[in-house]
Structure 1
């Protein structure tokens, strides 16, 4: 016979260890899939690839989002999803800046004195380290002004 007797202590200890390991593995699995960063990145790419000035909005239902010049991260309930932009670099925009005003609809010639000022502000925004921010929607605007072409994301 190749069966182990049911009365052996090491059989019960082995089953207890295997059961504990299975419960531990199940407890560490994520409860929900990561947020859909690809859908938000597709919205950014659609606006960035446009031949004309365009605006797009993508609703977000996440705890926080982080936007970089080439990538987007979304975080919700401990899970993080990310996607790369196909048409980059984009310009991440922080609130309470002149770029924020342009993203929200202000013409660039009213927010900046000259196209070179817009170009410098966009370059500085792309060089900042991305930070997690609470966002309910992702707004994208492509702006072209006298040779300066930027895609603002905030």
Structure 2
């Protein structure tokens, strides 16, 4: 029996060893675990966004970095990258903004933005929106180092009080010409809002003329315009006697004139016959309404607030019809 090892056996053993090591290297190079769960992250965000009221959620994850760009959420670790898309809504990453992070972690809006809320010249809602816009610009589409938890919170912000300006004719008397029509001798203007605006009013219409100015018992009318400026306080009503041009009994600067070339003294014509057009100018806006009759009480300026205007520029915040507040979903990764 031949017990001697073939001369080439060690070559076979060496080759087998090399192959084994190579296979082991391939196995070691393969991922040893799954990539992080991006779908779980989008589910947590959507559940929070879908609430009609303020809500919050927390998701534990094993991602080393997270990137959110619009509706796309990506999570990354040593095992790879996973991506998922939001079916609805948007979220803003606020990492790096200490005040917004405090909101996400549960502090109230009144606490975090206390200084703006107490400052009569500040607007807390727009200040909040500005900070969120800055955070979105800094973080959107960027890989951010992640903690072990994704924290999501929907924040609700009350809009500014909508300023309301309402006008109506008052102190009606029967027409001296035919006794049938009721003519207003005054216009009352009421303002409700957070500010004290200076408003310039203009009333235009047709004014009847005293009969003896033209001829006995003869009706005549001229175009009429009156303008006055006043400063309103909240819930303030001013009553303007357009015939003698007094506001709340105090004579003010303004103009009042008939639109005719015929020379007639101002005191010989009345305020005007309905319909009367009332124009209000304030805060670079011009608003107009028409008073059709003695029973008309009309809003002149249902204007947008500063909060409304800022929100209209942003695509990640919207007005909730149920709460009537602005809602936005924020996240800290």
Shorter-chain TM-score above 0.5: yes
Higher relative contact order (CA 8 A, sep 6+): 1
Q: What RMSD, in angstroms, separates the aligned Cα atoms of the two structures?
A: 2.6
In structure 2, which of residues 127, 137, 148 is the aligned counterpart of residue 117 of structure 1?
A: 127
Contact kept? 1:71, 1:85, Cα under 8 Å = yes
3-state SS of the aligned residue for 1:86? coil
CA contact (8 A) 1:71 1:82 kept: yes
Task: Flag the structure with larger Rg.
Answer: 2
The alignment status of 1:103 with 2:104, answered yes or no, reads: yes
Structure showing the higher helix proportion among its residues: 1
Distance 1:151 1:134 in 2: 18
Query: Do residues 152 (structure 1) and 302 (structure 2) align?
Result: no
Distance (whole Å) between structure 1 residues aligned to residue 143 and residue 94 of structure 2: 11
Report the TM-score, using the length of structure 2 for normalisation. Answer: 0.37
Alignment partners' CA distance in 2, 1:117 and 1:51: 23
With the length of structure 1 as denominator, give the TM-score of the two structures. Answer: 0.75
SS in 1 for 2:84: strand
Alignment partners' CA distance in 1, 2:329 and 2:149: 16
Partners of 1:69 and 1:105 in 2: how far apart?
24
> Higher strand share goes to which structure?
2
1:61 equivalent to 2:62? Answer: yes
Q: Distance in 2 between matches of 1:149 and 1:47?
A: 11
Please name the residue that 2:153 is paired with.
141
Shift, 1:25, TM fit: 7.7
Partner of 2:138: 128
Equivalent in the alignment of 1:76: 77
Q: Is the 8 A contact 1:65 1:74 kept in 2?
A: yes
8 Å contact from structure 1 (residues 65, 135) kept in 2: no
Q: Return 39-48 or 26-35, whichever deviates more.
A: 26-35
Q: What is the match of residue 243 of structure 2?
A: none
Q: Aligned partners of 1:124 and 1:84: how far apart in 2? A: 23
Deviation at 1:78, TM superposition (A): 4.2
Q: How many residues align?
A: 138
Deviates more, 1:68-77 or 1:22-31: 22-31
Residues of 1 paired with 2:99 and 2:37: CA distance?
30
